[in-house]
Structure 1
């Protein structure tokens, strides 16, 4: 099936969302100039998970750009990284932010990739505008409503305690975080959100953890799960789900393959056996091999 929607047509379809969006901070990884003339791939846009940011993807984004010879954009979702804060934090609004970003940067039929929360953002956009994305990669998150585990609210509580202590050493922040999170990889990931004030020398979180804490119940949801989707509303483009064999979210893929196929009929699921939820961080080479093979595959 030939996929794609002309950019001018997409702009007309999208215009009703623009007033609700926030501008997204991003980094662009360009194609080396010597390869630009031979590149025919669409740009790839990557969105991180909850409490993440575009900086988590620097190394992998560079590798994907080089190995796939495509432009790569990494974005910060609203209330994350360097993007604006907003009291409202839902998948529909984050999807609208991304649609606005695509329009503002004149990106035609991008490939979309997202981890966890970012995966649901990318699925939201793909089902709202099924002809827009040329390919979709979702990392360890199914298009299914679920209950987030307690660790997410524990992380919010840890951030509150760290902020209240007015710490001047990151080591002290990690010591507090250890009471809530034993996994070093996860702690290092969460601590990337700390920023030291030039004026006071005190570490502060750059994400609005109170807003995100209030949004946790919505982050387990998914807008389209209970809606029967006609063929015209399904995303029928090539779709890759990459799961972690040790992830608590793996069960959704095992238990509900028919629900995934009902929304993404041209999807395949690849499992990295020894990985947890942070698949791309725990097993970067295995992840990169799966992702680049899928991107480079001719449809």
Structure 2
């Protein structure tokens, strides 16, 4: 449900989208003109479900958060493809999942990757959905005005400079310790992470960033050194003055009422950058999509069906 009033702000621990899965599946890749290769899954509506008069339905790009990947959004992407009858591209951003690594990791670079992906695939006025790091990325794309965007849905992050939750620094420490310990068993790796994080679900989410080396040891799939250096950039937002640039299209800001990333005092700034924004408050912490998937689905479907 889309609501336009503020709810009391509470606090809750982080929760991941999904637990660790050892299964592998095929995915596609696109080499961009800037040298970055992005991996992605394409979820298409069934032929029977497609609207006869809407064969070229506007696509959706779904972007994960820090330490996440395209697999986090797999289930919800399938739901949106089926219910909205649109193709959904779930991306791995640079330095995440199966995409390539690069020492530059900030929102301008992430936005450029998305823009080049849209141009490469000739996607016409897509909808952009992004959580956390992905939320700031999609808002940056919209404000850069390099590609036409129909609308966007940032999830639990605001267009402001705001410090990251301190847990992210702890997560990096734990992940580095796993590599240094050369763990060969998941139980050993999990025991190390337990020193930094009590939640089993979050530990499983972080273990999803690892693969087994040829020697059988747990090795981080993500470039920990690059992402550690990028933590400060992830707290920033590249645009400072709403009077200089705005996105005049529709936007749905989804926030968890138990999270602090989109506090009430940030909403006036959101409105200056995105004057047509609507607000969906969901009873969840920062990990809105996994904590309340049905409420998130309803908010997004209601918003996008109204725009068709």
Q: TM-score, with normalisation over the residues of structure 1?
A: 0.88
Q: How many residues align?
A: 275
The correspondence of residues 56-75 of structure 1 with structure 2, limited to 5 A, is 56-75=72-91
What corresponds to 2:15 in structure 1? none
The correspondence of residues 57-96 of structure 1 with structure 2, limited to 5 A, is 57-96=73-112
What's the CA shift string for 1:118-143, capped at 9, x where partnerless? 11110000001176111100100010
Aligned counterparts of 1:127 and 1:168: Cα–Cα separation in 2: 45
What corresponds to 1:152 in structure 2? 168
Aligned counterparts of 2:33 and 2:87: Cα–Cα separation in 1: 28
What corresponds to 1:248 in structure 2? 260
After TM superposition, give the deviation of residue 166 of structure 1 in Å. Answer: 1.1
Sort the Cα spacing of 1:228 and 1:235 in 2 relative to 1 into closer, same or farther, 3 A.
closer
Aligned counterparts of 1:114 and 1:298: Cα–Cα separation in 2: 18
The correspondence of residues 1-299 of structure 1 with structure 2, limited to 5 A, is 20=34, 22-36=36-50, 37-39=52-54, 41-129=57-145, 132-197=148-213, 199-224=214-239, 226-230=240-244, 233-251=245-263, 254-273=264-283, 275-298=284-307
| Runs (5+) with no aligned partner, structure 1 | 1-17
RMSD of the alignment, in Å?
1.5
Aligned counterparts of 1:70 and 1:32: Cα–Cα separation in 2: 10
What corresponds to 2:14 in structure 1? none
After TM superposition, give the deviation of residue 19 of structure 1 in Å. Answer: 5.4
Aligned counterparts of 2:79 and 2:102: Cα–Cα separation in 1: 32
Aligned counterparts of 1:130 and 1:248: Cα–Cα separation in 2: 30
Aligned counterparts of 2:66 and 2:294: Cα–Cα separation in 1: 22
Matched-pair contact (CA < 8 Å) for 1:139–1:241: yes
Aligned counterparts of 2:287 and 2:35: Cα–Cα separation in 1: 28
Aligned counterparts of 2:88 and 2:181: Cα–Cα separation in 1: 39
Aligned counterparts of 1:120 and 1:245: Cα–Cα separation in 2: 18
After TM superposition, give the deviation of residue 73 of structure 1 in Å. Answer: 0.1
Sort the Cα spacing of 1:286 and 1:228 in 2 relative to 1 into closer, same or farther, 3 A.
closer
Aligned counterparts of 2:192 and 2:90: Cα–Cα separation in 1: 30
Aligned counterparts of 2:123 and 2:156: Cα–Cα separation in 1: 26
After TM superposition, give the deviation of residue 33 of structure 1 in Å. Answer: 1.5
